[in-house]
Amino acid sequence: MNAPTVPRRRHILALDDWSAAELRGVLATAAQMKDVLARPIKQVPTLRGKIVVNMFWEESTRTRVSFELAAKALSANVLSVGSKDTSVKKGESLVDTVRTVQALGADYIVLRHTSSGAPYLVAEHFRGSVINAGDGRHAHPSQALLDLFTMTEQLGDVHGKKIVIVGDILHSRVARSNLWALTTLGAHVTLCAPPTLIGPASEWQRTWPNVTISHDLDASCEGADVLMALRLQRERMEGGLLPSLREYTRRFGLTADRVSRAQPKVLVMHPGPMNEGIEIMPDVATGPHSMVEQQVTNGVAVRMALLYLVAESRDQAPSA
């Protein structure tokens, strides 16, 4: 397989320092992986004999299954450990678990964790490679890359396109990773949420100077090329972040009417799992603009590309 030239990375923790060329390189690799998944035999021997450990310290089905399929399609041996396993219940620390997994011979850790920044701790103590599968509110690089892959597949380049992300921005690692990827490629990003679920605009613009902050979804939808809704955690009602789901849905739900204000070929996206009838209406979720299923399909290809790229990097430059 001819891999595009991309910078070598030992870990994939966040997209903060990824260049446009590197992002495009991953997309090109993912396209090749998507071809593999379209074959009758959906497997290549790239990671044969390697051990991938899925460490999921937070509930997840979609991302875990997607990474598992990706690793298996590359012929790796996959092991899953979760926070419900006994050692964690007994009070074993994350660092202890990493040392144990390392002693068992793991080459890769795919980490999902409730604490922002946890992958940096794991990377500090693990001799192999770490792929962040979502940490707290911080980053979800594979999700942002599969979103980007889906957008470029449909729209061509995202440069100059208007992308609206609506929902619980404050608590969203998906929004943050998408911001890095999209702004690096020159897209115009609007973040739309009630003030309690986003915070002051200046705090976002210090890191992402060109991002637009809005509290008005009707206005934001005008001319949008992509409308991405985020999952609203029902616990947000506690602590005064929102008065009611009804009020949220009225102002910030993706309805057919709002979709009609956007570009005729607008893409409707959602990282899942969806609360249909709250942040997205059922007819929109399954309607002609919806990319939700494509996102899931592309997710496997993108995660194969990430595993492949860190594997390449490890073979070329042995880690210290």
Partner 1 sequence: MPRIIIKNGCIIDPDRKTATVGDLVLEDGYVREVVDLASAPTSYGDEAEFIDATGCFVTPGFIDIHTHLREPGFEGKETIATGMDAAVRGGYTTICPMPNTNPTLDSASQIRQQYDIAARHGVIHVLPIGAVTLGREGKVLAPLAELSDAGAHGFSDDGAPIWDAHIMRQALLYSKMTGRPVMNHCEDLSIVRGAVMNAGPVATRLGLTGWPASGEEVMIARDIALAAETGGRLHICHLSTAGGVELIRRAKAMGIRVTAEVTPHHLVMTDRWVLGNMEPWDGKGPYDPAQLRPYDPRTRVSPPLRSAEDVQALIAGLRDGTIDAIATDHAPHTLVDKECEFDHAAPGFTGLELALPMLLTLVNSMQIDVVELVARMTHGPAAIIDVLPISLGPGDPATLTIYDPNAVWTVTPESLASKGKNTPLMGQEMRGQVMLTMSEGQIVFQRAGFGTSLQQPQPSIGHLPGVFDEDEA
- Catalytic (active site) residue 140: yes
Q: Provide, rounded to whole angstroms, the least separation between the CB of residue 53 and partner 1.
A: 18
* Closest CB to partner 1 among residues 34, 137: 137
Nearest to 145 by CA among 28, 317, 311, 1: 28
Catalytic residue among 29, 63, 97, 150: 63
What would the two tokens of residue 233 be? 């955690």
- Catalytic (active site) residue 63: yes
- Catalytic (active site) residue 42: no
- With tokens 């390392």, the residue in question is 102
CB of 50 closer than 8 Å to CB of 169: no
Interface contacts to partner 1, rule CB under 8 A:
16-17, 93-95, 113, 115-118, 120-121, 123-124, 135-139, 171, 173, 176, 199, 202-204, 206-207, 239
Q: Provide, rounded to whole angstroms, the least separation between the CB of residue 115 and partner 1.
A: 4
CB of 33 closer than 8 Å to CB of 146: no
- With tokens 């070929």, the residue in question is 265
Q: Provide, rounded to whole angstroms, the least separation between the CB of residue 58 and partner 1.
A: 12
Q: Provide, rounded to whole angstroms, the least separation between the CB of residue 153 and partner 1.
A: 28
* Closest CB to partner 1 among residues 115, 154: 115
- Alpha carbon 295 to chain centroid, angstroms: 10
* Closest CB to partner 1 among residues 30, 230: 230
Q: Which residues touch 52 (CB under 8 Å, ≥6 apart)? A: 67, 71, 76, 77, 78, 79, 106, 107, 108, 110, 307
- Catalytic (active site) residue 161: no
- Catalytic (active site) residue 150: no
CB of 224 closer than 8 Å to CB of 263: yes
* Closest CB to partner 1 among residues 71, 123: 123
What residues are annotated to the active site? 62-63, 90, 112, 140
